[in-house]
């Protein structure tokens, strides 16, 4: 059985984490498959946007703790490789020209919470929960912290990673972690609707919008305005007379 299901609906590519018996926990194989699938979708001219979902009752439980027994100081090569793979997965989302919508149901915890907010837009089911419980297990929400701290206010982000308490969909919406909260039965319908709207936007405009959005978020104002000016000039050059 494939760890990752791939389905095209028109210009929308649906990627579904498919380890429901493990609550879609991310082992190395699934992480690698998802990274490759995201890159493949970005290269595919027929794809306009991506929906990331989870099979079964939950979105993603985070890292597969079953692999942790081998990730010890003595196996530093394995530790380094796993950390690099995780970092590259989260870096793939902002680097893609194609927008990604996440459809979050059930539980999205730890690395799963990181995936839930890694997309450009996020739709969350009313009954879902999201959280970073790493400190409760004596570890740190390390790689996923970078994106969280950029999307949520500092006080709220620190509370999430320090206390490790899960929050519900309405709280996630209030914090700006997700765009929509919908009844559980309407989750994929709403996620697909958003993805179809994104896919309908002209490809050059969408690609430049996404690239510029992620660039200016971390730049000083003057440099951000300069990048905006450059993008403005580039888009005008692309327009037909």
The count of structural domains within the chain is 2
Burial of 25 (0-12, 13-18, 19+ CB in 10 A): buried
Q: Which residues contact 6 (CB under 8 A, 6 or more apart)?
A: 13, 14, 15, 16, 37
Q: Same domain for 168 and 100? A: yes
Q: Which residues are catalytic?
A: 134
Give the tokens for residue 156. 């709220």
Q: How far apart are CA 190 and CA 101, in angstroms?
A: 10
Check whether residue 173 and residue 122 sit in a common domain: yes
pLDDT at res. 238: 65
Residues 214 and 194 in one domain: no
User: Can you give the pTM of this predicted structure?
Assistant: 0.93
Residues contacting residue 19 through CB under 8 Å, at least 6 positions apart: 3, 25, 27, 30, 55
> Could you tell me if 157 and 213 lie in one domain?
no
Q: What is the DSSP string of 104-168?
A: E-SEEETHHHHHHHHSSEEEEETT-EEE-GGGGGT---HHHHHHHHHHS-HHHHHHHHHH---EE
Same domain, 187 and 206: no
Domain that holds residue 157: 4-199
Q: Tens of pLDDT along 118-166?
A: 999 999 999 999 999 999 988 899 999 999 999 999 999 999 999 999 9
Residue-by-residue pLDDT tens, the chain, 241 positions: 799 999 999 999 999 999 999 999 999 999 999 999 999 999 999 999 999 999 999 999 998 877 766 666 666 677 788 889 999 999 999 999 999 999 999 999 999 999 999 999 999 999 999 999 999 988 899 999 999 999 999 999 999 999 999 999 999 999 999 999 999 999 999 999 999 999 999 999 999 999 999 999 888 889 999 989 988 887 776 665 5
Are 143 and 217 members of one domain?
no
pLDDT of residue 221: 86
**Shared domain check, 186 and 73:** yes
- Spell out the SS3 assignment of 77-113: HHHHHHHHHHHHHHHHHHHCCCCEEEEECCEEECHHH
* Residues 212, 162 share a domain: no
Task: Examine the domain organization and report whether 145 and 219 are in the same domain.
Answer: no
Same domain (yes/no): 107, 191: yes
Which phi and psi (to 5°) does residue 194 adopt?
A: -65, -45
Co-location of 20 and 99 in the same domain = yes
As beta bridge partners, residue 121 has: 101
Asked whether residue 117 falls in the same domain as residue 216, the answer is no
- Evaluated on CA atoms 178, 182, 187, 193, the torsion sign reads negative
β 4-9/129-131 pair status: unpaired
CATH number of the domain encompassing residue 18: 3.90.226.10
């Amino acid at each position: 059985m494939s760890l990752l299901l791939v389905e095209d609906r028109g210009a929308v590519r649906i990627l579904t984490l498919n380890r429901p018996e493990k609550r879609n926990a991310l082992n190395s194989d699934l992480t690698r498959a998802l990274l490759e699938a995201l890159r493949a979708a970005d290269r595919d001219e027929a794809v306009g946007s991506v929906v990331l979902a989870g099979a079964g009752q939950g979105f993603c439980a985070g890292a597969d703790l079953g692999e942790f027994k081998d990730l010890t100081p003595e196996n530093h090569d394995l530790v380094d490789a796993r950390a690099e793979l995780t970092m590259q997965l989260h870096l793939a989302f902002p680097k893609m020209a194609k927008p990604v919508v996440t459809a979050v149901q059930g539980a999205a915890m730890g690395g799963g919470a990181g995936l839930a907010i890694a997309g450009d837009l996020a739709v969350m089911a009313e009954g879902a929960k999201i959280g970073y419980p790493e400190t409760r297990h004596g570890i740190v929400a390390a790689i996923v912290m970078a994106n969280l701290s950029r999307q949520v206010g500092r006080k709220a982000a620190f509370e999430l990673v320090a206390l490790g308490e899960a929050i519900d969909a309405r709280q996630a919406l209030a914090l700006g972690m997700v765009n929509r909260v919908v009844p559980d039965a309407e989750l994929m319908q709403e996620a697909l609707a958003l993805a179809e709207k994104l896919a309908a936007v002209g490809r050059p405009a969408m690609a430049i919008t996404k690239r510029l959005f992620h660039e200016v978020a971390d730049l000083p104002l003057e440099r951000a305005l300069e990048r905006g000016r450059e993008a403005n000039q580039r888009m005008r050059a692309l327009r037909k007379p």
